Each structure stands twice: as structure tokens, then as C-alpha cells.
Structure 1
Amino acid sequence: MSVSVAKVRFKVVGCTSWEDGYHPKSMEEMHPFVTGWKSERYCPYPQQFVVCLRSKARIRKIQLLSHEYMIASKIELFVGRSSIQGQQANSLLNIQYTRLGYVSLSANDATNYKSREMKSINIDAEGQYLKLVLHTNHVNQLNLFNQVSVLALNILGHDPQSHITKSQSIKVTGRQPPVHVSTINDLSFDMTLDPSSARLIKQLEAQKQQAIERDQFELAKALKEAINEMIKVGQVLCHYEREKRQAIEREDFDEAKKWKSEKDSIEIQLKERLNFEQLLRGEIPIVREQGRKDKKVHYVPEELTRDTSTRQSNLPSLSSGQHLPSEPPPPVNQPIDIELPHINTSQQQSNYSEYPNEDAEMPPSQPEPLTDAQLNEAAVAVQVFGDVTVAKVFSKLYHLREQGLTDVLDIMKKETSFSRSEMTKALCQILRRGFSDKVLTSFNIAIDILKELMGEYAKRHRLSSSDLVTVLDKILPVVMNRFADTNTRIQSSSMRAILDLAAIPEVKPLLGHYLLRPLAQDKTKSLDDGSKLTISMETQARTVTWRYAKGRVEVLQAFLEVVDLGTAHMTIPKIMEFVNISLQHNHAKVREAAAQLTVYLYKGYRDGTIRELLPVSSSDHIAMKNIFWRTLFHQLDEIDGIVHIAGQESFEKAKKMKQKRLNNLKGELDALRSLAQATGQLPASEDSEEIATVAAQTRVIDSATIEQTCPFCKSSRPEFNVKAHMDEHYAAECPMLLQCKKCTQVVEIKNYGAHMLNDCSSQTEMAECPKCHEVFGKTQLESHMKGSRCTAPPDDHVKCPLCHTNVQNNDESWHNHLMSVSSGCTKNPRRKRRRPGQQHVSVTKASEGVTVIPR
């Protein structure tokens, strides 16, 4: 007996991190064009995310689709259920997890990162939560930022009460019953078919099940054949939709229009010839043709009958551990009712530029002639590689451009009669054209040509450093300009090209000069009155395209990880000169990347001059009001072991206030002593010992006592004279302080809510309750406002962020609430509690007996 399972719908309720545009919520959808979830750049490991099922279910199978190169080394699986009942049952803090095991993922280098691995994991567990823990990524040259990514997640199961229990099944059969997964519930169905085709197939499948229940087997057979044909056509339509999207991405709108019209045409013909309306009404479709008997319809697109054997491929059978191509396959040259062969992953880079209209001509195999401007631009390249090859590189058809660049790569690997200077100039002309291409495949071939030129070709022909510098002068600016590309794949490839050059020993020392070049140059502008206005480099750099500036900073940081400081023009002053301009860029993402680079430098080299070279100082009170600069200096201080207290004056400011208070007390003591001497109650000849007695009676706090006293809890210890001990007290002991759970910063408890809203790194995730003014996560605010705990505090009172009781909003009330042994805050983990059996003793301070002399 097999167990039928269905998809279990879920929603993502928790995630460690994600990159912009790759939110984990996208995993709630399944179709070939889904972006999936991607961790943030340089993320800490392990990464994890939690999904909540729509209802409690018995999970029988989990399917995961991994990215082609952002691959986790292993993934652990946990199933969970809430440990309590009631309103807090859905809180992630109340979930108890059971570890199911882990799966290991292939590094995917065998497929050259052209396929995606799908894991099908058979389990048998009940719960409502599923947690995935992803460990360190497989390292490869494409994964520049050590990220991991999961594109799709499919959970299959059933209601725990709808089938025999686990113990019953084992008792009857002696083993677990097999799991039956229908075609439409499998992950490969959603990830390889056009979404519109998938919806139609699901409608036909539902109609087929109804026909089976009514014993209408002829109709069920017709529906089955229509589903099979629709699945095969859906694969073709998925390819057309992908080609259309790629054409839109490279702004080739004529090509996109052709793919769309062809896709629409096939869909219309298919619906007419399969008679969808009759099938959905429960009628068997019959097509009558002149001179023939009635027959069943098999739809064969005309464009698939052409001789395109060079493009044969198909979708793989996606069993556990097999690979799914990163792009759906091109159309095949067979009728769609014939079994298609397994995919050959080595043929993924196929030619898709045919026009599939019946009357259209096949695409030309020869490029269009070069124009005069192109001949001038590539004069040396024409002499070296020939006009046909160069014309292919300059062609408007991208498959010809790819072919031309590949021919150039093959030619340069062979011995030629041209001098190395001629070959170098010719290759530079080709590379400038290749790196300007909008198609990723052509761009990657240009990267291969550049690596070959700077590597093996340079060694074989003994190119000098001046020759290499000449190439870099002409090529690197073009490559770095692609950092600003809106196509993220080209953007990543351009960054990878720089790092690939850094792996060549002869080129590595030369790159620093180019990476530290200013983001912009001084600009002179002519005014109407004939005068000229010079715009400084710093002003220009602040408005540079943010993607370009951010890419420059990130590549510089990646380069510093593989180069020693002091080599390749890499010195702290030169680096900071570049970083300072990025720290003042108009876009926040550029400033954040520059701040991350500053912290990396300070942490790696501990060079004190970094602080001095920053454009602002920590003593600049105006600049420190900006949360960006305050956060940056706090990060640098944390590296030095300095703990900052949020919501209260700094340690130095508190010390100055104490000193001022000490001076005032000493002045009052002098006035008191003078008045006592004048009235005769204190002899003028009184020695210093008696004066010291009077000073003790008036409770003068000397400087040593002030240095030993915590400004928050007022506790005093001799070791507090050492600043490190005082910082330890702040971080771990002081009952008036608390470590923020989000950013780990030490904050004052009474200002904890204000910190979460204004200063915390997670402030965008927090919100204030309009009724009780407590601060919660945005996802928890709605449930809090519906609960009984949400009540408005009385006037002049606020809610304690720990125990949620009302506290009068003044220093004395907060001190008593947070530090009282008997009646203090029950949720304060640092408060001293009365030991069991300890008696409460009331202590009343005796009067000092000081004689007050009226003035």
C-alpha cells in the first residue's frame, strides 16, 4: 500500500539574512523564473531559515533545489512544533525542534556550474515548523562573496489523521509504506514548465480525476493524452518565455516581440487543436478532416520539425541528487509526442536566435560587412584575425559575436607570424568590443581571452611589464565600467575578471594602481558669462553611479584579501584616500560598503592612523549625531575592546560631571570652614587632623570615590579605577543596563525602547505600539495589540521593557524597580535576589549630627 501525498503550503517566518532582491518569501512560489533566497554577502555561518506550515502535517518528503554555484556544503533539517498553547504558541521562541539529519550537496564543478542540484529527501515526521540550517558554502571562482542560495523548497505530506498512523503501518507491513508523488506535485513539474501551461495541466488533471470517479474512462484517456502533450509543449513554451525575458534584459525588444508572438501563437493553436473547452466540459474532442476518418489530435509545432540537431537537449529526470539545468533546454527537432532524450549538460550554451516562423529564413551564417567606423576602430585586428572574424565580433547577432570571440581565442593559442605588439594591439581592440557586449556569454568569452593574454600568452611571448600595463590601461576601465551594469550576472562577472587577474603573479602587483584610482576627476564647466567653474573631484565622486562605486569598493576589499599590504601600491594612506570619498557618497549602499572596508582594514592591520585619516573625528559632536558615523566609530571601538553605553552620556562625560560636582562640594566645604572660624565654633589654629574630621562628617566625596562609582547603579568598588573593569561591569553586571538582543550593544534599560526604534541596526524591523508605547517586532505588533497585556500606562508612567509593569518615569523609580532585592523587576537577569530563608532587614540611615551654622 502506498501513501499519496500532496503539496503542503507554507510561509517563511524567520531567516538569518538575505540579499536585496532575494527575499526568502520568494520561496513560497514555485515557477522556472523564481529568484529564490540568497544570503547576504560575506554572511556568517551557519545560515538558517524557518518555514511555518499552514497547519500541522505529517511530512513525508522534502525537495530542495540549490543554486548552480552558491552551494552550501551541507543542509541540516529540523522539524518543530509549539511547546505551549494559546496566543504565544506561534512565537519562534516557543518552538521545540527535533533534528532529522542532514544532506550533503555536490560542489557542482563537474558540470562547470551549468546545472542545479535537486535533493529529494524521504522522511516521516509530524510538525508545523521546518528549519533548514545551511553550513559553509563550497568555494569556487564564481561565488565572489561566499554566499549560499536555495531556489525552491517543496514540502510533501498529508493530514496526520487522514492515513494510518506510523506505528500501525510498521506493524502491518513491517516497513514504512512507500510514498506516491503525482506529477503535478513534484518540484520538477513547477520548475521546468511555463506557468500558464502548468495551470492548464492542473485543470486537466482535476478533470481527469473526476472522470475516473465517474467511470468515464474514454474521457480520462483523452485527458491523459492531452496532459502528456501539454507537458512537452510546456517545456518549449518555458524556453520561449526565458528567451523573451533575456531579450528584454539586453533591451533587444524586436527579438522579445518575436518570442512573445511565437509563444502566443503556439498556445492558441494548442488550445484549438486539443479542444480544451470540450475537455473541461467532460466531452471527448473529435477533429474531422476532409477525406479521413475521425482521429485523435497530436500537436507538433512546425518549428520543431526543422533540422536543428545541433540544439538537441531535454529536461533531466530529476531524481534525488541529480542536476537541473540552470536554464530550460531549447526546442528539439522531434514531435512533442515522442519521448525526449536526457539532457547533455555540455550543450547548454546553444544557439537560440532562429526565427521559428514558417516563412522566415534561417539566420545568416555570415556577418554583415564592417562599416568605415568599425574598420577604423579595429584596423589592426582586421590585419591579424581577418575581416570575417572581426565582422563576427562586431555583428548585431549575438550568436555570431560569440563565434567570433571563440575564433579569436583559438587563434591566439596558436603560433602566428605577427609580432607580439601587433597581436597585443589587435587583442585590445577585440577585448574592448567584447567587454562592451550586453550578452553574458560573449562577456565571459572576453574574460577568457583576457586571462589567456595576461597569463599563458604573456609567458610564451615574454611580454614585459610595460606591455602588460599598456593592456591594462586600455581594458580595465572598460571592465570596471560594467560594475554599474543593471544585469547582476554581468556585474558579478566583471568583478570576477579583476580577481582572476589578481591570481596571475605578474599582473597582481600592477592592479593596485587601477583599483585605487579616484571615482571621478575634476571637471571644468563653462558659464554663460565666459568664465569657467571647476567642480572638484570629491564633489563629482559623490554623485557617481552607486552600482559602479559600490562595485569598486567591494572589489578593492576582495583584492586586499589576497595581497599583502605595502605591495601593489597598497598602503594605508592611499587606500584611505579612496575610502574617504566613498564614505561620503550620496547613496547609502556605497557608504555601507566603504564602512565595511574600513572595519576590515582596522581589524586586520590595527593601524592607528586609520582613525586619523578618516574625514571626521570621534570628538566631532556634530558628526557623531549622524548614526552612520556613530555606528562606524562604535565598531572600531569594539575592535579595541571599548564598550559603548547607548542612551546615556559617555564615560568621559560622566567623569567630567563627577569632577564638577566634586569641585562644588569642595567650594561649599571651604565656605563652611571659613564661616565656622569666623563665628568662633572652629578655632583658626585647628590642625589639619581636626579639619579632616569635619570634612568626613560632611560626607565629602573625593575624586577617588567618584572614580570607583558606577554612574548608573551607584555601586562602588576599588577595581573600578581601572577602565577595563568598569567596562566589564557595564557589559555583564550592572543591573541598570542590558545587552540588546539584536545588535549586542549595551543600552540603559529605561531607554531600551528608544534604542530599538532609533539606534539599533534592526530598527527597520521594529515598531511602537500606539496604545502602550512598548516596542515590538513588526510581525508581533498585531498579535500584541489584540492581547490583554496591551494597556495604556497612567500619566507620568511608562512600561518596563522587561516585565511590562508600569514604572514612574524618573531616575529614582527606575533605580528602585530595577535594583530592589525584594520588590524589583522579576525579569531583570542582573538584579540581586533575596536568598531563600533570608530575612528582610530595613536599614535606616542615621543622621550625621553635623551642626548647621546659619549664614
Structure 2
Amino acid sequence: MRKLRFQVVACTGEDPAGPAALLNEHDSTGTGYMTPRNCEYPQELVLELEGTCRLTQIQVLSHQSHIATKVELYLSLDNATYNRLGFLSLKSNKESQYTARELKTVHINSTARFVKFKLHQCYINDKNVYSQVGIVAINLNGEAEEETGPSSSTDEMELGASTPSKPMRASASITPTKASLLPLKPPSPAADDTADLRFDAKTAAKIREIHVAKEKAVAMEDYDQAKRLKVLEQQLMNIGLQLARLEGAKREAVANEDYDAAKRIKDEIMELEASIGMSTTPPTGRSESYGNGGGFPANNRSSSHPPPPQMTTSTYNSTPPPAIPSVSKQRTQQPAEQLQQSYEDETERPLAAASRPPPPLKQQPRSSAAFSTPPDDDLNDAPLRTKPKAPVENAATGGGGGNPHFRGLPDCADLADPEALPDSLLSESAEMVSLIGEYLTTCFYSNVWNHRDAAIRKVALDLTDPAFTDPHDPHVVLSVASTMVQSGVSDRIAQVALSAVALCHGMLQFAETHATLDRDAVVQVLAGSDLVGAPVVASHVFRRASKKALPLKSLQGRLGVVKALLTQFGLGPDFTLETVMGFLEENAAFAHQSKDIRDLAKAISVSMYQ
């Protein structure tokens, strides 16, 4: 499988600032193709391959904010009749604040010469003012075949094997692009690398050199050398991704004339490049197998292992969008194939029928604190931080060698450490850090769902432990837990959402044991009393859904509201002595078995006669 050359031959329309011809050149750092402003959807984009080819992989890198809700794929041999393969669904990218780019990878086995993308309505957000859809880059992988003409029975059989739909002819509104007049260009040096979409050509070539050297070492059964090369390959990818993020942030800072930020980012880049020079020295052994792997450009990303066959996977490209200066969020250090699978959308309809959940993540050895797999999402231009590490716990202390942060969660003992958060995000999450610590906070904001799930489950477990909750203000505990629940229930991974629901139940149990929370909840109810008045609030308090006796906690809360209303507003129209005493008598508050209820009834009576 190799990267196939193609050119854009037609599109429904294009923005002058983002012509479709930009897709002909490999560049994952630019804006790519943009549909016209305020256009009608769907929009179509047609690519022509260098000849009849057997397609095995299609990769689409979406814009960070101009995102289509759905992209349909069609194949053809003659640019006249197209067979529909299926569609890709993209996320709205709201979670990353529109700073990450989603990469969709589709594995197929079909013969075609033309590939058509039908772009559907975009997601609406404040960064997409003109309702556009953007495609930053497209990568087609497969093998070229000899020209057999459109009537080849073999090709027709392959197209028939795909999911056919009603034949479609090229729309008359589709206009040829300037790219159709240009000759095909020779492939880049990294064309053989199927993950080339995430790298610039030079970096892809360097990573490829090390990968080839590693394969040679394996063939010669020099496994020590292969292990060293593997570590070096991962380090080159990690550092290069950090540089890519910083370069994008620097360009945006210069565009905004924020030269102080540009200088600061430049210093960080130089610092990181200096660490590259020291860290990428070839290990002892056959150093000639490295090529010139010492230095490499800033913009790169690689996934040297594609996801499993017959599966549609979703990952985020780590190159920052040119419109937003940003550095990093977080992600665990793990092999590239796990990075892809960890973002697999299990609810998404794939082009292939097969689908399976991502495998459990395993702890990977850390070669250096500075070499960590960069995140997908970019948040701000804060300096890069080193990855928080879980302290190693001696087995004699009862930790069993597992991660002490996840004590009580045996299935999380081998989770890799999360990627560090930017300083600005940590400062914004100071309340959460003070309660659950920096490590669990980083896990909660991780792009890897296993980390998010583990952090939520750990907090739910700790809510039942007085040693965890007693030293902290209960309001802070509920505030942090509410933040985690609100984010968790909207997570696209079902397991994370279920864990958030369990945390919500834990919050309710926690609140029932703290009288101060009940009292402060009353204050919150009264916050709007200047608008609606005490009688309106009281009418809802006195209302009963059935004739059954109110539960203890419900009655206690209602009496607390009545007492607070009397203390602050006193009696008034529709909130009279008769209505209050009638409510107390209906619920037998003066003779209730609970002392708390009797005390509240007595306090209410005293308040009315003062």
C-alpha cells in the first residue's frame, strides 16, 4: 500500500481563500479547501487518481471549526456513474473549543479512478460565521493497476461489492478547478508512508528512515537495536508534534502582531529543538542505520500503524489550526495505533460492517519526561509542562505496584500516565486540583476516554469515604463533582456517561448527609424571591403531588424553606398564618417521629409570632 497521487478535477464551489487546488499538495498545516460562503448544501468535490487504482484507505482531515455534519463517499471509473460507499459522521468539536482537527480513516477494498466527496450541512458555531465546510487534507492509499478501461469486468465486480446506491451523474453545477490544468507532480519522498498525511515530507522521510532501520534490525534478529530504534522513533514523533503546535501558535501570534507571545514561543521552540539534538543521538550499535535522524522540521505527525482493517476510526490531528495560537492539552503516552483506536466512535455508522471496542490501554515505558505523546486538542499558548507521573508505590505498602491514584479501581492499575495540562488550564481548574489533585484533574481533561472514566469513577468512590470529604468544604466537593457530571453525561463514550450518572447518585447521597447544603440550597431558592415573591415560592412548597406522607428529607427541606421565607419576608398575602399552620398540621410536623421535623415546626411557629 502506498500513497496515491491525485488532483482535484471538479467542485461545486470554493472560497477564494481556500481553493480546492490546495488539496493537491500535501500540507496538513494550512486551511485547505473551503466551500463558498453561505452556500447551499450538499457541496461536492471530485478527485481524479493517476489511473485506475485499488483503493484500500481513505483519510480525511477536517477543519477545526468549519466542520461538516456528514461526508458521503462515492467511487467511479468514468466520472459519470458513481457508486455510494457510505458516509462519515464528524463531531462538532465543541469540547476542544474548536482547536483540534479530526482525522477520519476509512479502510475499503475497491477499484476506482474518481473519488467524490459530498459535504453536508456544517455545524453552527461562533467561529464559522459564513456556514462553511473545510477539508484541510485528503490522503488516498492503495495500489495502482494497469489501465483496463471502464468496462473491465473485474472493476465492475469490485464496485458491485461495495454498498451500491442509485447511480449518480456528475452535477452540471460542478465546475472544473484550476488544478485540472496542472500536470501531476511526482510523489514526495515520504509517499510510501501511509501515515504521511500527518507529517510534512521531510519529517515523514526521517521517521520512515528510522522505521526501515528498525525493520532491518528485526530481520537480522538484533532485537536490542530494534528496541532502541523504536524508542527513538517515538521520541522523534513526540517532540516533532510539540514543535508543530508551537510553530502554529507562533504564526498566529505574528499575524495578530502579538510579538511578545511570538518571542516567548520562539524561545520555547529553540529550547525544544536543543533537547532534540541531545535526545536523538543514535544509540550505540549500527548507527549508520539511522540515516540523518538527528534534526527534523517542526510540523509532523505520524501513526506508523494503521487501525485494524474493516473499521472506521476517528482521531485528532495534533497540528494546531492556523487561526488560534495554542499549545497543548493532554493525552496519554501510548503507541500510535492506540491513539487512533482510543478515539474510535462506537456509535458512528462505519463504512465497513465490522466494529469492535478499543483495546485496554497498557502502561508504556517512559524514555524521558520531555518525550510525551502530544495531545490532539490545543487550548492556549501556555508553555509546555512535563507529564505528571504517578509515584511508584512499593508493594510492601499495599499498593501492589499499581497506580496509587486509582486505588480501589483494580482495572485501572495499569493505565498510562496522562499528558500534562497547560498552566492556564490548571489555574482555571484550581478548585478541582485542590480537591482531587493535579493527576486526577489531568485524567479528567484527557482525550483518552479510559482516563476520563477512571477519574470520574475514582471521585465517585471517594465521595463515600469520610477521610476524603471531611477535610473539604462540601460546597467545593459538590461543585467539582457537578462539573465532572455535566461533562461526563455528554461524553460520546457510553462508559464515561454511565460513570458520570453513578457519580450523580453519589452526589445525592453525599448531600443528604450535610445539613449545610440543605440550608444553602434554600438560599439559592430564595435568590429569585425579589422577582416572584415569597407567596409564589410558598405555594409550590405547600403543594403535594399525592395524599401519601412526604418522605423525611423532602418534608425537612420544605420546612426549611418555609422557615427561611418567614425569617426574611414574614407573613403576607397568600402566605398567611392559616396556610402555614395548615401545612404543619397536614404533615403532623409537631408529632413527627423525627426530632428534626419537630424542631423545625416549633421554630416556624415561633417565627410567626415574633
TM range (shorter): 0.3 to 0.5
TM score, norm. by length of structure 2: 0.42
Higher relative contact order (CA 8 A, sep 6+): 2
**Structure number with bigger Rg:** 1
